[in-house]
Amino acid sequence: MLPYIARRLALVVPVLFVTSLVVFLFVRALPGGPAIALLGERATPEAIAAFERAQGLDRPLYAQYGSYLRNVLSGDLGVSTRSRQPVAEELLQRFPATVELTLAAILIAVLVGVPLGFVAAKRYQGPLDQASLVGSLIGISFPVFFLGLLLKYVFAIRLDWFPTTGRYDITSSLDTRTNFLVLDALLAGDGAALADVLLHLVLPAVALATIPLAIIARITRAATLDVLDEDYVRTARAKGLRGAIVDRRHVFANALLPVVTVVGLQTGLLLTGAVLTETVFSWNGVGSWIVEAISYRDYAVLQGGILFFVLVVVLVNLLVDISYAFLNPRIRFR
């Protein structure tokens, strides 16, 4: 088990290396550059040249990439051209917001999607099954940013049930020590702050959860239908087990396997969705940070932010592979 994890972790290194190169080249392929973005359209060529020299942007690409790589290996992700803050520091400050949002979204997607898919399969072709199929089709086809705006308009502006933007009431005295605000509120033992933080979390998390929820519900349904037809389910019934035990021990345990894989694959989708959701709800996470960085051609921030996303996707899928082995005894670690 441990050697397996070590080997998988070692594989992360080439993945990060390749993605760092791709990201490095792609951000530089964006039209314009940080000089024009910061100094404006009417900046003099001299000013631009001076800026680029100061930032080292006049050097050949391979030299720039070489020094970038050296710095990253020593833990230095560079400095934001806009805020002049070290990227690593800003990233540390912002990533809890994104993690909190995506975790909430995946919790909603799994806790609603898995039971929904399972029950739909058990009542195959019944009204609930049909409704869940239609519902999940709608869920998959709705663009996240549009759904976000719609939710905001209906539930925050019209009905005023939830706040429109932000992560918490800034007039509150919440100590944002870890910047995982739910955790902070719990640590402070502040019930009012916790309620406030959770209320802020609802709309963005729901908007972000919709597509993964729909996909998870459909995969769970399909997997459950497959398993219901398996011979071993018939065996279990022929043993005289209660229906609930057959469902839980024999059907659900097997149907979960493909679902776990899909949940892992959803992380990439969730992070993409987070970019849009964070922008719509002014959520100070890595997603909205990247969007801002694009408009300022903030190379260091883009590289740091995207590398962080890649790292998260790779690690989550490693976790999925490991959990898979616990759920499925046929998998051996080799």
Partner 1 sequence: MSSAAWTAWEGADPVRPPAGPLLSVRDLQVRFVTRDRTVHAVNGVSFDLDAGQTLGLVGESGSGKSVTSLALLGLLPRRTAQIPAGEVRFADEDLLHAPESRLRQVRGNDVAMVFQDPMTSLNPVLTVGRQLTETLRTHLAMDKQQARDAAADLLDRVGIPDPRRRLREYPHQFSGGMRQRVMIAMAIACRPRVLIADEPTTALDVTIQAQILELLRGLVETERMGLLLITHDLGVVAGVCERTAVMYAGRIVETGPTADLFARPRHPYTLGLLRSVPRLDAGSDLPLAPIPGSPRDLTDAPSACAFAPRCAYATDESRERLPVLTPVDGDRDHLVACWNPVSDAQRVSSA
Which residues lie near partner 1 (CB under 8 A)?
124, 230-232, 234-242, 245, 249-250, 253-254, 257, 327-330
Question: How distant, in Å, are the alpha carbons of 148, 153, 231, 272 from that of 142?
Answer: 10, 16, 38, 14
Helix boundaries (H) for the chain? 2-29, 34-39, 45-55, 61-73, 87-122, 127-141, 144-151, 181-188, 191-228, 231-238, 243-245, 253-280, 286-295, 299-327
User: Shortest Cβ distance from residue 133 to partner 1 (Å)?
Assistant: 17
Give how far the C-alpha of residue 163 lies from the chain's centroid of Cα atoms, to the nearest Å.
22
**Which residue carries 């909205």 as its tokens?**
288
- Cβ distance to partner 1 smaller for residue 84 or 330: 330
- Do 106 and 270 form a contact (C-beta atoms < 8 A)? yes
Residue 328 tokens read as: 């499925």
User: Shortest Cβ distance from residue 224 to partner 1 (Å)?
Assistant: 14
- Cβ distance to partner 1 smaller for residue 133 or 257: 257
User: Shortest Cβ distance from residue 221 to partner 1 (Å)?
Assistant: 16
User: Shortest Cβ distance from residue 124 to partner 1 (Å)?
Assistant: 8
- Cβ distance to partner 1 smaller for residue 7 or 237: 237
- Do 285 and 297 form a contact (C-beta atoms < 8 A)? no
User: Shortest Cβ distance from residue 111 to partner 1 (Å)?
Assistant: 22
CA distance 192 to 62: 53
User: Shortest Cβ distance from residue 230 to partner 1 (Å)?
Assistant: 7
- Cβ distance to partner 1 smaller for residue 63 or 253: 253
- Cβ distance to partner 1 smaller for residue 183 or 262: 262
- Cβ distance to partner 1 smaller for residue 67 or 328: 328
CA distance 223 to 27: 40
Strand partners, 86: 79
User: Shortest Cβ distance from residue 121 to partner 1 (Å)?
Assistant: 12
User: Shortest Cβ distance from residue 106 to partner 1 (Å)?
Assistant: 23
The 8-class DSSP code of residue 241 comes to -
- Cβ distance to partner 1 smaller for residue 230 or 292: 230
Q: What angle do CA 234, 238, 240 make, to 5 degrees?
A: 125
**Quick count: other Cβ atoms within 10 Å of Cβ 271?**
23
User: Shortest Cβ distance from residue 333 to partner 1 (Å)?
Assistant: 15
Give how far the C-alpha of residue 302 lies from the chain's centroid of Cα atoms, to the nearest Å.
16
- Cβ distance to partner 1 smaller for residue 42 or 330: 330
- Cβ distance to partner 1 smaller for residue 70 or 248: 248
Q: Give SS3 for 14.
A: helix
Question: How distant, in Å, are the alpha carbons of 138, 209, 261 from that of 19?
Answer: 33, 26, 22
CA distance 99 to 180: 8
